[in-house]
Amino acid sequence: MATATVGLLPAVGKFLDKSLQQPWIGGKAASASEGGTFETHDPGSGEKLATVSHFNARDVDAAVAAAQRAFDKSGWATMPPNERGAMLHRLADEVERRIPIIAQIEALDAGKIEGQAQGDVANFVATMRYYADMAQHIGRRNTLAVKSHEAWTMRHPWGPCGFIFPWNFPFLLIGWGISPALAAGNTVVIKPAEDTPLSAIYLGQLAKEAGMPDGVINVVTGLGETTGAAVSSHPGMRRMSFTGSPEVGRLVAEACGRNLTPVKLELGGKGAAVVFDDVDVKATADKLVGAITFHTGQVCCDATRWLVHRRVYDQFVDECVKRMSQVRVGYQMQDSTQMGPVVNEKQRKRVLGYLDKGVREGARLLVEGGAADVPGKAGHYVKPALMEGSLENVAAREEIFGPVAYLAKFETEDEALAMVNSTDYGLANSVWSSDLGRCGRIAEQMRAGNSWINAHNVFPHGVPYGGIGKSGLGGGVNSPETLFDYWRSVSVVRPL
Ligand code: NAD
């Protein structure tokens, strides 16, 4: 570990001091069979954090075999749901006890502000407890009333389930993904993003300490095109879940299609916020600027197209410009920082590239954005940017995944709705007005998986989350729908 960070917890220092970070297979720290490695870096300083094992297809085979063994032999799949629930609560306890440790590992690895990372780890705990409790109260055997037949249905777990995750919310998304699968009695193989493998590796170790049966939670690390591709194309995987970009989502869906493996896809977005002329302009500007700068705009469900009623447009722009120009960009581990780095240099170039391309296509920069310099840190920093212009512009159409919002004006409800729905993405939008009747009307007609009213990025457990179109397939995240996805149905019939 090369990063010298003020306030590093001793347990984090000890974890990062390992010369090689090894993921977990069958309850043991596993080595890559060909000895391959890759490095993970601190996005805020550019310094190396760890050397990590790079798993090839053979290593992924071993992980799937361990997950299958645990499914068949550990008793995990067949134990009474309350016992399984108790074990998941125990794992949640272990995670909860270590929130500061995991959050610091995550903050360093993902470039995330430490307080935000603590919120992510707490969310993992809440998600695991939510499904641990729910699974105990859902009947898995249902008698059917059918004339002249005795008939019933059963719900069985599938077996090994694969999960591929992105780098923006590494630990939180692991919680959203694996909790329903585990609560339903499945075993899992987790492939974290190569930029942020550390919190998943730490979880593998914690699962062991929490007394989870060996092989119920397995972690494989490596690059997408090798380790990720081996996970998504593995015929032993009974279900797959992928969270990431639409481009890779298509590859994963194709690989699963070849094996006829059911797959859930949680992909990108180009969400809109529709701001009517009866809002509190300052409060709305506060919230939307807060949302687009949160985790440096690397949030799939962000509102990146701000559609504002003509009558309040200028006032809204003034308020946003003021706020965006004052955002303090800095190192993620510094208390004074409001917005940290983006995850890597590729992502920084992507954000800067969209500003250039957008301007070339005629957009105007109201807040200039661009590269940011943080003294003493060779990290990947950008400033927030605000653009305006035609919604045909590339910066208004494509996902940038950075702190860049794009403004356009509207006059009527119909016009606003047409603008919201003029995209192939369909993840999340919001509508802002003091007329709640109007909000409900618009919220129901926005073509996406999720609509929010007078807020953006709202995730209470129990409300299904997911995208349509280019934003995904399957949805139901954080609600009972996803738990049911992790059971397969069987019907049994006897003519009388
Ligand atoms: P990405 O698609 O590049 O990578 C995601 C994961 O896929 C990584 O683990 C990567 O190693 C793996 N991967 C890459 N190539 C692969 C291949 N050929 N086969 C199998 N796996 C492969 O995405 P990213 O850059 O890490 O994340 C950003 C994207 O994720 C954005 O589009 C964002 O909107 C989306 N996202 C969506 C949600 C959601 O809930 N809908 C949540 C977070 C992020």
- The 8-class DSSP code of residue 138 comes to S
63: number of CA atoms within 13 Å, CB side? 35
Question: pLDDT band for position 7 (50/70/90)?
Answer: confident
Q: Is there a contact between 163 and 237 (Cβ–Cβ < 8 Å)?
A: no
Specify the pLDDT at position 350.
98
* Cβ of 245 less than 6 Å from ligand 1: yes
Specify the pLDDT at position 4.
43
Question: pLDDT band for position 6 (50/70/90)?
Answer: low
How far lies 180's CA from each of 68, 122, 354, 375, in Å? 18, 17, 37, 44
Specify the pLDDT at position 270.
97
Q: Which of 106, 266, 319, 388 is catalytic?
A: 266
Q: Is the pLDDT of residue 1 over 60?
A: no
| 300 catalytic per annotation | yes
Residue nearest to atom 34 of ligand 1 (CA): 268
* Cβ of 268 less than 6 Å from ligand 1: yes
- Cross-strand bridge partners of residue 452: 430
Q: Is 419 helix (H, G, I), strand (E, B) or coil?
A: helix
Specify the pLDDT at position 431.
98
Question: pLDDT band for position 3 (50/70/90)?
Answer: very low
Q: Is there a contact between 28 and 59 (Cβ–Cβ < 8 Å)?
A: no
Number of other CB atoms surrounding residue 65 within 10 Å: 16
Which amino acid appears at position 86 of this protein?
A
Between the CA atoms of 332, 334, 339 and 342, what dihedral angle is there, to the nearest 10 degrees? -20
Q: Is there a contact between 230 and 60 (Cβ–Cβ < 8 Å)?
A: yes
Specify the pLDDT at position 305.
98
- Dist. CA 385–CA 268, nearest whole Å: 20
Q: Is the pLDDT of residue 191 over 90?
A: yes
- Dist. CA 229–CA 218, nearest whole Å: 17
Q: Is there a contact between 275 and 297 (Cβ–Cβ < 8 Å)?
A: no
pLDDT tens profile 243-279? 999 999 999 999 999 999 999 999 999 999 999 999 9
Q: Is there a contact between 429 and 403 (Cβ–Cβ < 8 Å)?
A: no
- Dist. CA 304–CA 294, nearest whole Å: 12
Q: Is there a contact between 151 and 179 (Cβ–Cβ < 8 Å)?
A: no
How far does the centroid of ligand 1 lie from the alpha carbon of residue 244, in Å?
2
pLDDT tens profile 50-72? 999 999 999 999 999 999 999 99
- The 8-class DSSP code of residue 360 comes to H
Specify the pLDDT at position 87.
97
17: number of CA atoms within 13 Å, CB side? 7
How far does the centroid of ligand 1 lie from the alpha carbon of residue 282, in Å?
35
Question: pLDDT band for position 211 (50/70/90)?
Answer: very high
- Which residue has 């119920």 as its token pair? 216
Sign of the torsion angle spanned by Cα atoms 70, 73, 77, 80 = negative
Average pLDDT over residues 158-183: 98
Question: pLDDT band for position 487 (50/70/90)?
Answer: very high
**In terms of Cα–Cα distance, which of 372, 361, 370 is closest to 331?**
372
* Cβ of 194 less than 6 Å from ligand 1: yes
Q: Which atom of ligand 1 is nearest to the CA of 223?
A: 11
pLDDT tens profile 71-116? 999 999 999 999 999 999 999 999 999 999 999 999 999 999 999 9
pLDDT tens profile 224-243? 999 999 999 999 999 999 99
Give the rounded distance of the alpha carbon of 274 from its chain centre.
24
- For the chain, give the mean pLDDT: 97
Pairing of strands 382-388, 24-25: unpaired
